[in-house]
Amino acid sequence: MTALDELESGQSKHLRGANLEDQTLSGLDLHDIDLAGAKLSGADLVRANLEAAHLEGANCLGANFDHSNLRANLVGINLMQASLQGSDLRGANLRGATLMGANLQGASLAGAFLSGANLVGVDLTGADLRGADLRGANFSRSNLSGANLSQADLQGANLCEANLEEANLDQANLQGANLVGTNFLCANLQDAKLEGATHSGACWTGTILDGDSDGIKRLT
């Protein structure tokens, strides 16, 4: 019986290191499954249920997780060039993960753990990152326009040349962050912590920074 047969039949929850490259796994109920170190490059996991699954160190290069449930252990996972549009990653553990060039438009990452993750060139348009742990994460040249980062912890994060147009960073912690060339056009940074951040060349046009006598202070 192949690894795919075991998955489809539900006979096995332990497939560490299994080779499932380019396989169609869309819509499958894979909750609590152990796929640590598995090879899932190019796999189709659209609308799959991977809640509480173990995917530590799995190689998911170019895989499709659109609208899937990935509230799982994803430490060190490779999601480079993967598609995760509208996926549910609330509270997921993505510490040290690689997501370069991934598509996370409209994804929910509220309360997720992404400290030290590589998110260079990621599309997070309209994503929900409320209260997420993003310390030391690399968002260089990423698109976070319209994203919700309220109360997110971005201490020491790299947002160099990232696009945060109309993003919500209310009460976010950006202490020591790299904001060189970052686009904050019309973004909300009310009550955000910016101590020690490097921000040369950043765009602050229409940005809400903090309260004044009128309730809002803008930098233009």
User: Residues 109-124: pLDDT tens digits?
Assistant: 999 999 999 999 999 9
Q: Residue 210's pLDDT is what?
A: 79
Whether residue 18 is predicted with pLDDT greater than 60 in this model: the reply is yes
* Residue 79, CB-side half-sphere exposure with 13 Å CA sphere: 32
Contact 57, 75 (CB under 8 A): yes
Q: Cα–Cα distance between 51 and 57 in angstroms, integer?
A: 17
Q: Residue 159's pLDDT is what?
A: 98
List of residues 6+ apart from 136 with CB closer than 8 A: 115, 116, 155, 156, 157
Residue 204 CA: distances (Å) to CA of 32, 189, 201: 45, 10, 9
With CA atoms as reference, report the closest residue to 132 among 162, 157, 161.
157
Q: Residue 211's pLDDT is what?
A: 53
Report the predicted TM-score, pTM, of the whole model to 2 decimal places.
0.91
% of the chain at pLDDT higher than 90: 88
Which long-range contacts does 198-205 make (Cβ < 8 Å, 24+ apart)? Answer: none
Whether residue 214 is predicted with pLDDT greater than 90 in this model: the reply is no
Whether residue 11 is predicted with pLDDT greater than 90 in this model: the reply is no
What do you get for the CA distance between the two ends of the chain, in Å?
Answer: 64
Q: Residue 12's pLDDT is what?
A: 58
